[in-house]
A and B are shown apart, each in its own frame.
Chain A
Amino acid sequence: MRPTRILAAAVIGVLAVTATACSETKHKGGSDSNDATQSSGPKKKGGTVTIANTAGQTWTCNFNPFNPAVYNTSIGFVYEPLIYVNTLKNQAETPMLAKSYKWNADKTQIDFTIRSGVKWNDGKPLTAKDVAFTFNLMKRVKSTDLYALWTTAGLQSATASGDRVTLKFEKAAQPYFYAFAHQVAIVPEHVFGTGAAAAHPDTWVDKKPVGTGPFEVDPCSPNNIQYTANPDYWQQGKPYIQKVEYPAYLDNGPANLDLANGKAQWGSQFIPGIKQFYLDKSADNHTWSPPVQNVSIHPNLDPSHKMTSNLKVRQAISLAIDRDKVSKIGVGGQEPAANQSGIVTPTFDKYYDKAAVEKAGFDRPDPARAKKLMSGLGYSPSKPLKLKIITITGYTDWDASLNVIKQNLKAVGIDLTVQDLAQQTMVGKLYTGDYDLAYYSQQTSGPTPYYELRQVLHSANTAPLGKNAASNWERYKNPKVDQLLNDYASASETEQVAIVKQVAQYMLDDVPVIPVVEAVDWFQYNTKDIAGWPTEDNPYAQPAAYNFPDTGQVLTHLYSKSAQ
């Protein structure tokens, strides 16, 4: 989502012409060549993977897992979490540094049993004390508490005894499990507890990260990080891949070029015209980009914005938009159409109430009903309501999507003006509520739709106009929804599904935001030599290379075909 797409698109536009002009068009085979090799079982070691994920900067060679500018190059590769939670597979859990865990009845206390026999890559053993130390470090130095565990989540103590670590919370903390078990990377006390690292764990430059993970950094230069396999990794026989190259791509264009010509095998950004530019280049090139959250129109619900705070206008907008067409024309079919309930399908199908969406009439575009709603307010195509929508300049796929939306709305009596703003300006306006309509992607996702819905709808995440709202930018306030979202924490798993469905019902009734398409994890992969990639049939991890600690899962599954 970097605003570099104009240029990228230009490069690709030019290149696409050559692709058709001077290369024979090959079509993607029906089945993946790595189907046969999906079978588990130990693999021989060897091979190299090159990642093409736009970094937008040269590497600083800092691997401090608390520094949010660099943590995705260390967590997953070198540092590991307690439990891996798979967003794409119904929160399926893989025990990592914790062998197992146990909640108490009201989910205010959790006991982790730490795996024995795990070694830091400097040879020292991992202990429960390291784990407790990591959490207590976040209490001592607030800027390292990236997920607000000691504040919002209500963590009260983290103690170790024997091989067990106990976290105590002041209230039910199940929704934060994803943060503290899955996202927090465990660091060694003997490194972060001494010297400069102990004094300033947030600003400390971690050149040679000491972790438990499958890879070690060796060496790092501004242009490229090379990871080599950790020979003493605790998962016996893994990783199969012996080397990972992570060049610092400054822009999508060159990264996509290297993907297309096979120099890089693991891609993680938008490729415009992917069929011609990438898939047709080789039968070994594949893409699978699973949706994880929504790209939505955020209407300003504050009463001072008369039109967008009117439910009928919002209903009309949602009904008028032909989401399939937006998906097809706006983003070349690479992002699927969303639905008004805000539940991302098929990823979270379990929470999706199709009948409710149908009952509310949002299962297909209904311009006739939208037109009726608008004419009830005194507007028609000949006398349209004028509305402005802000978006980020350079996001050409969003511009294309908005163009389709504009056409859709024109037919029902809304004249939409698209205002392209620089990213900082746009985001500033969005946070402070200085807009009528905004086209933006909710940033946070989690292993269930609860995480996104809570961000968008809970009134704790909003603020008065003029103040920065955290994530409820449309300023939606509904005590009933707040209550539901609060109840989620202590609910059982089946109750949680029911709660999400109830919240989704409010999305249909109140139309607080209007999801248009589903944002995906960008993922392209090459199977010429490397196999074991996550696929639609085997979604064992979120596939994009910027997702940590999912990278750790992918890296321990990949293997080289030629080494077998």
Chain B
Amino acid sequence: MRFILRRLGFFLLTLWAALTLNFFIPRFMPGDPVDALVVRTRGRVSRDALEQMLTSFGFKPDQNVVVQYVDYLGHMFTGNWGRSIGQTLGEPVTKLIGGALPWTLGLVGITTVLAFVLGTLIGTVSGWRRGGALDAILPPIFVITSALPYFWVGLLLILVFSQGTGGWLPANFNYDTTIVPGFSPGFVGSVLSHAVLPAATLLITTIGGWILTMRNNMITTLAEDYVRMARAKGLGSRRIMYGYAARNAILPNLAGFAMSLGFVISGAILIEYVFNYPGIGYLLYNAVQNVDYPLMQALFMLFTVAVLVALLAVDIATVWLDPRARAKG
């Protein structure tokens, strides 16, 4: 219990530090929202009008920084995240994030979990049957694919499955733009088919890491005394593999998994970019590009919280899986 309390305290402290940095760092960034807007309106619109416009949307650069900071901290907790002052001028930030988050969670989230589960499974089996057919083929292949840059893999998949085959699979958007969203078979099918290429790209490039670490952990664990003990007791090989070896071998991977779950929310920016997928990663890219402080702040806050929560969850999971951690706490 003390362990968990200590973790919670640490969580709060980190959160505050991250939120503070999150307020100040974008303001040190070069660029100015008004300049960005002048550029985007092709200089047609008077600068004064644009400044007035941004002020109406809540951009007050001349206000005291301390006041701004205190307001900001309050707003972060109350969910009053303001309105975008960038490319989506005037849209409430909550609405923008609300629109993009489900797509990123759906695509990147599911793919990350899938990559972890599949990778761990393959790693477990190939570690268990070291030198077997599976071990000889899969890990080397995936180690190579995981070294490929994922935007490149994305381009290659578009080239082969979308361009080369005359449009088997769609290469952009999250669903067919001519379909009105709703729970119709056409829409769901469209969402799924649009997710295939980006998901495949992510899977291909991330699964290798899980396989490799899991396989190596398995091999180390299999040499442990308690595995030999289990064998001596005459337990079934399946039980030894999952209950004794894999359960211990997975521990180091869990922390990594938590980290990658935390990063899910920031989306795979490049994936979303290559596939024109309107998720959170793309939103962040645009926010930075257009010096959209309110949107940037809210997004970075979400990323920080996501990583921190994931780490906290892993700490708790480790306590549950590993009796040694419980004893220490």
Contacts and interface: CB of A to CB of B under 8 A. Distances in A.
Is A bound to B?
A: yes
Interface of A: 3-4, 7, 10-11, 14-15, 18, 22, 56-58, 60, 62, 64, 67-70, 142-148, 151-152, 183, 200, 202-203, 205, 219, 221-224, 245, 247-251, 253-254, 257-258, 261, 422-425, 427-428, 431, 442-444, 455, 468, 470-471
Interface stretch (B215-223, B251-259, B271-279): B271-279
Given A3-B289, A60-B90, A250-B282, 20 more contacts: A14-B159, A22-B164, A69-B37, A70-B89, A147-B44, A148-B48, A151-B46, A151-B48, A152-B46, A203-B83, A223-B278, A224-B178, A248-B177, A250-B172, A251-B276, A423-B39, A424-B32, A424-B35, A424-B36, A428-B31
Interface of B: 29-32, 35-50, 52-53, 55-57, 83, 87-91, 99-100, 151, 155-156, 158-159, 163-164, 167, 171-175, 177-178, 180-181, 272-278, 282, 286, 289, 291
Contacts of A67: 53, 89-90
Contact of A223 (B55, B56, B177): B177
Nearest to B172: A254
A301 B57 CA distance: 37
Contacts of A142: 48-49, 52
A539 B236 CA distance: 81
Contacts of B272: 250
Given A224-B177, A250-B282, A254-B172, A443 B50 contact: no
A422 to B, nearest CB: 7
A522 B174 CA distance: 27
Nearest to A62: B90
B274 A7 contact: yes
30 contacts: A4-B273, A10-B155, A14-B159, A58-B278, A60-B88, A68-B45, A145-B46, A147-B49, A151-B46, A203-B57, A203-B83, A223-B175, A223-B177, A223-B278, A247-B177, A248-B278, A249-B276, A250-B273, A250-B278, A257-B172, A258-B172, A424-B29, A424-B35, A424-B291, A425-B30, A425-B31, A427-B35, A428-B31, A443-B39, A443-B44
A444 B87 CA distance: 19
Contacts of A250: 172, 272-273, 276-278, 282
Nearest to B43: A443
B186 to A, nearest CB: 15
A467 to B, nearest CB: 12
Sort A-B residue pairs by CB-CB distance and give the 6 closest, nearest first: A424-B31, A443-B43, A143-B52, A69-B89, A254-B172, A148-B46
A468 B50 CA distance: 14
Given A148-B49, A205-B90, A11 B43 contact: no
A223 B276 CA distance: 11
B31 A143 contact: no
Contacts of A57: 87-88, 286
Given A245-B178, A442-B43, A444-B43, A68 B276 contact: no
B165 to A, nearest CB: 11
Contact of A143 (B41, B49, B151): B49
Contacts of A202: 52-53, 56
A203 B54 CA distance: 9
Contacts of A444: 42-44
A219 B180 contact: yes
B177 A58 contact: no
A248 B29 CA distance: 28
A539 B49 CA distance: 32
B174 to A, nearest CB: 7
Determine which residue in A58, A142, A183, A203 has the highest number of CB atoms from chain B within 10 A of its CB, and name it: A58
B321 to A, nearest CB: 41
Contact of A145 (B41, B49, B286): B49
Contacts of B35: 424, 427-428, 431, 468
A403 B160 CA distance: 34
A459 to B, nearest CB: 16
Contacts of B36: 423-424, 427
B159 A455 contact: no
Nearest to A22: B164
Contacts of B177: 221, 223-224, 245, 247-248
A203 B56 contact: yes
Q: Which of A200, A253, A442 has the most CB of B within 10 A?
A: A253
Contact of B53 (A4, A143, A424): A143
